[in-house]
Amino acid sequence: MPTKTTDSTITRGRAPAPPKRQGKARLKPAGLGWILPAFVLSVGVIYFCIGYSGLLSTQENRGGTSGGTFIGADNYTNALTNPLFWGAIKHTVVFFVLVSIVQISMGIVFAAMLHSKVRLAVVYKVIIFLPVVIAPAIMSPVHRRVFATDGPLNWILEHIGLEALSQSWLAQTSTSLLVVIGVQIWSSIGFAFILFYASMGQIEPEIIEAARIDGASNLRVLWSLVIPSTRGTIFALLVLNVISSLKLFDYPYLLTRGGPVYTSDFLGTYIHREAVALTNLGYAAALAMLLLVLAIGASILTNLRARER
């Protein structure tokens, strides 16, 4: 970290220091004013919105200026008895499990491979990480093209002798969720890769060398040495995946609109549909509050687990 500027700038400080009393010199200046802008911006906006959501969630509210009518917990009981809500929860769980497994294992494998002697490593790195950077909204027409009935995926399948697997991926209820999961995996492996690449770089080469002298094979080194040392990264990714699964919106909305017949619907698309398309604001707010409870519950659970370890 560059520290060169400090000394010169400090001594240039606003000339003669007023004599200070010993005790006061130890007292730090008050800082409330310094945290206030950030506090008002984040806590203010967010807590206000949560409070407002809470209020809306007890109303039958169709938007506009007419206001809502109080209906108590009806929105919540409606949501909790609605198969669409449980469908979205189920998709979220499936999404989380599949994305986490593939993202983490592929991230580890790519990181280990690129820590080995591979030519043009930078090119591979860029190709793997690029999907993380490009906006889902910008890439989604391309993904729709890839999975189209006459698209490249089916073309590839037909040319490697798997015609039987060729199908209309986006339009059928059995595969729409898989497409959303696949695209998310495509765009998130690079992120896991970067984290694993960084944490593997911190393993002492001597330890690996010692294991090799003891006769450990490549896979053995990976399994017993490398993977255990990246446990922290795996855990961090799992936590981040819980949150990103719960707040998922862009890909399901852009690829399938949650369909067909809600087979790739998530809480994000569900809330958006209720709030924006149907202007059923009270119900959307109740869903949002349930989502909030799940997100907070998940982060408390993971924090507790983190503390145990």
**Which residues from 45-64 bind another protein, rule CB under 8 A?**
45-50, 52-53, 56, 61, 63-64
Listed ranges 77-85, 157-165, 232-240, 255-263: which one lies at the site for another protein (CB under 8 A): 232-240
Q: What backbone phi and psi angles, to 5 degrees, belong to 115?
A: -85, -10
Give which of 196, 242, 199, 301 is closest to 99, Cα–Cα: 242
Q: Is 221 in the site for another protein (CB under 8 A)?
A: yes
Query: Residue 70: beta bridge partners?
Result: 59
Listed ranges 5-13, 76-84, 90-98, 162-170: which one lies at the site for another protein (CB under 8 A): 5-13
Instruction: Give 94 or 132: the residue with its C-beta nearer to another protein.
Output: 132
Name which position in 92, 184, 230, 233 contacts another protein (CB under 8 A).
233
The span from the CA of 143 to the CA of 138, in Å, is: 10
Name which position in 60, 84, 131, 166 contacts another protein (CB under 8 A).
131
CA 270 distance to own-chain centroid: 18
Task: Say if residues 102 and 185 touch (Cβ distance below 8 Å).
Answer: yes
**Cβ partners under 8 Å of residue 235, min gap 6:** 306, 309
Q: Is 160 in the site for another protein (CB under 8 A)?
A: no
Tell me whether residue 66 is exposed, middle or buried, using C-beta atoms within 10 angstroms of its C-beta: 0 to 12, 13 to 18, 19 or more. Answer: exposed
Q: Is 135 in the site for another protein (CB under 8 A)?
A: yes
Residue 208 CB, shortest distance to another protein, in Å, is 7
Residue 125 CB, shortest distance to another protein, in Å, is 8
The span from the CA of 277 to the CA of 113, in Å, is: 47
Residue 221 CB, shortest distance to another protein, in Å, is 7
Name which position in 162, 261, 276, 278 contacts another protein (CB under 8 A).
276
CA 188 distance to own-chain centroid: 9
Give which of 98, 96, 73, 137 is closest to 295, Cα–Cα: 96
Q: Is 129 in the site for another protein (CB under 8 A)?
A: yes
Name which position in 99, 128, 181, 255 contacts another protein (CB under 8 A).
128
Q: Is 162 in the site for another protein (CB under 8 A)?
A: no
CA 10 distance to own-chain centroid: 42
Instruction: Give 99 or 284: the residue with its C-beta nearer to another protein.
Output: 284
